């Protein structure tokens, strides 16, 4: 099967049909209910859970704010490239 139709099918597919849609780490605040449910399930099974609020912004880095902005951009680029690489690798394995 040629690769192009598979790429088009993936691009046109609903986001809910893609694994990345269920990656709760991409939007931790938007996934707060998921994490609260996970915490409850862990506590019910006897696993200790400690909640910690973390809020870091470029201003908190004391003179390194530009480095933070650059690093953040590099990180976002790396995430996008990894997702594309994963897609291409999965297509290579299709016979």
Q: Where are the domains of the chain?
A: 57-95
Range 70-84 average pLDDT: 81
Alpha-carbon distance 33 to 14, whole Å?
23
- Of 5-14, 33-42, 50-59, 79-88, which range is least confident? 50-59
Q: Using CB atoms within 10 A of its CB, is residue 67 exposed (0-12), middle (13-18) or buried (19+)?
A: exposed
Alpha helices by DSSP H, the chain: 3-12, 32-44, 65-92
CA distances from 69 to 26, 61, 63, 82 (A): 18, 11, 12, 20
Range 6-29 average pLDDT: 75
Cβ atoms within 10 Å, residue 46? 6
Question: Collapsing DSSP states into helix, strand and coil, what is residue 59?
Answer: helix
pTM of the predicted structure, to 2 decimals: 0.38
Range 14-23 average pLDDT: 73
Q: How confident is the model at residue 38 (pLDDT cuts 50, 70, 90)?
A: confident
């Amino acid at each position: 099967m040629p690769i192009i139709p598979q790429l088009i099918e993936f691009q046109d597919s609903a986001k809910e049909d893609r694994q990345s849609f269920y990656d709760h780490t991409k939007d931790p605040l938007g996934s707060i209910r998921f994490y609260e449910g996970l915490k409850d399930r862990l506590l019910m099974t006897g696993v200790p859970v400690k909640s910690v609020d973390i809020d870091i912004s470029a201003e908190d880095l004391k003179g390194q704010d530009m480095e933070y902005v650059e690093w953040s951009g590099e990180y976002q680029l790396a995430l996008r490239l990894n997702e594309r690489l994963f897609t291409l690798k999965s297509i290579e394995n299709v016979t």
